Amino acid sequence: MRRPVNLLRRARRADIDGLPHQKSPRYRIYRGVLLLLAITLSAIATAGEPVPAGLASSRTDLTPKDQARVLAVTRPTTDFTKPEQFELMQGGAGTSEKDVNRDAFSQSSANITFEEEGTFKLGNALFRKNWVSSPSSTQASDGLGPLFNERACQNCHLKDGRGRPPEGGIGSSSMFLRLARDASNAEERAALADHKALNFPDPIYGSQLQDLAVPGLKGEGRMRVEYSEEKVTLGDGSVVSLRKPTYTAEGLAYGPLDPRTTLSPRLTPPMIGLGLIEQIAPSDILAHADPDDRDGDGISGRANIVRDALSGEPTLGRFGWKAQAASIRQQAADAFAGDIGISTPEEPKHWGDCTQAEKACFAMPDGVQQRLGTAEAPPPVMDLVTFYSQNLAVPARRDIGTRQVLAGKKQFYEMGCISCHTPKFVTMRGNKAQAFQLIWPYSDFLLHDMGEDLADGQRVGEASGSEWRTPPLWGIGLTATVNGNSFYLHDGRARTLAEAILRHGGEGRKARDRFAGAAAADRDALIKFLESL
């Protein structure tokens, strides 16, 4: 399967040596033949193979002619004199063109029906709902915790945007401390190899440090972060100060952490465009993977393969900082269990992340109401929250035709940023509002080694301790507008977009160095381009 996928990758990027000039008729003939050959080889390679749907190496929703069209329209542009067609609508037909304000990330997909708009609003109400501890007179809302980090989804995803790092060194509810260790015996190593486990929790504190608890119980502890400043001199002699954080868990109420447990801070990411990401064909994401760096560009890109919670089949992870979740529904179920302590049919953990070592936690009552279902958040709740999460619209671009933004876009491409931040995809047919849309997420949704500076040392499935999923960039220019802050990267250490770029290491080092060595006007233009997303 690897050869056809790599051929598709090279055809999409059109970086084959020896091709005629791109504007010549010969070039179009060569490229057309190459695309059809790649599609044909991909189909042959997978014929008769029992490939799970989540790992399919070709698109079954497209004819060969349509596939060639998709590959052509998603090939990165070489013309930076004007905006590309449809570039304004970066979320496809569902793009929100509402006024830019603090609610810019909270708009519904523009192409859902009137009836679906009602469903979206019900999902929004549940997303904002504060859960309460059991027992409670509001039986449809109890079941909180017993250990938890927040009482509502919206309290973590502030205005459906990103969280923020701790203030004054003390832990924040919109950034969590993930706890995990690697395999320590043959049985655990086999579970990882078979994708039956992503990693293993701390034996006392579980997979996440919960700082809050219901009455009568102590929270587990608090995250503390301390920053030091590092000076970096750019190519033109200007000096930039970068923050370097150090994380600890303090006030631990139930004993020390296991010495093998690693700490990984995770900032809550924006919610926009998730339904569109879910509808990108697995083959289109896998086409960008090059785990052995066969093209020698220094960019590998690996898929995180995880088990689908419903089918049990291996599938492509695409959500979360380490691409550890395969679907929006599973991501929501994980958040309910880990962040709020609410059980769902997908994660029937009535006591959330409590471990057997925390006996007082299991002595607390749960919030299951049998007349409503066997989970604290039964299927109707999950249906509505999932629909809401699928249909949070991506805002329209701004200032896309200005000279500086176009110049910045050119710098973004020429510095090599698109090697990981893939500009465009066309979604699969078949899922109503998200079907067959040209979208611009600026992400390949693959794992990349970002170097030791950003490493957390925590394995998550296929992701190593220094690998992170490329985050989509759409909406990044509205961070300050929506959330009132400008903190970036997985732990919010970067206070500006420039600082975030300068923190890139590993596979991102070449692009980072080009940015650092560029003229101030070119750096400013690139930032303006990012602010237009």
Q: Where are the beta strands (DSSP E) in 308-416?
A: 314-317
The predicted structure's pLDDT at residue 169: 58
Report whether pLDDT(49) > 60. Answer: no
What pLDDT score does 396 carry?
Answer: 98
Tell me, what's the pLDDT at 512?
Answer: 98
- pLDDT value at position 52? 67
Least confidently predicted of 28-37, 445-454, 470-479: 28-37
Q: Please, which residues have CB within 8 angstroms of residue 190's CB and are 6 or more apart in sequence?
A: none
Q: In whole angstroms, what is the distance from residue 358 CA to residue 206 CA?
A: 10
Distances (CA, A) of 402 to 82, 96, 397, 407: 9, 21, 12, 9
Nearest to 210 by CA among 171, 255, 246, 181: 171
> What residues does 460 pair with on adjacent strands?
463
pLDDT at residue number 35: 42
pLDDT score, position 371? 86
CB 160 within 8 A of CB 106: yes
What is the per-residue pLDDT for 477? 97
The residue-averaged pLDDT of 172-200 equals: 94
In the chain, the amino acid numbered 68 is A
* Model pLDDT, residue 184: 95
What percentage of the chain has pLDDT greater than the value 70?
Answer: 89
Can you tell me the distance from the alpha carbon of 343 to that of 369, in angstroms, rounded to the nearest whole number? Answer: 12
Listed residue (125, 179, 174, 126) closest to 342, CA to CA:
126
Q: Which amino acid is at 148?
A: F
Q: Please report the pLDDT score of residue 224 as a whole number.
A: 93
* CA gap 235, 415 in Å, rounded: 15
What one-letter code names the amino acid at 271? M
Which burial class, exposed, middle or buried, applies to 22 when counting CB atoms under 10 A from its CB (0-12, 13-18, 19+)?
A: exposed
Residue 136: the pLDDT is: 86
Quick one: which H or E segment has residue 245? strand 239-250
- Rounded mean pLDDT of 6-23? 41
Q: Which residues of 36-62 are buried (b: 16+ CB within 10 A; e: fewer)?
A: bebbebbeebbeeeebeebbbbbbeeb
DSSP per-residue codes, 96-117: B-S--STTTTSPBPTTS-HHHH
pLDDT at 223 over 60: yes
**Cα(87)–Cα(423) distance, integer angstroms:** 10
Can you give the pLDDT at residue 51? Answer: 54
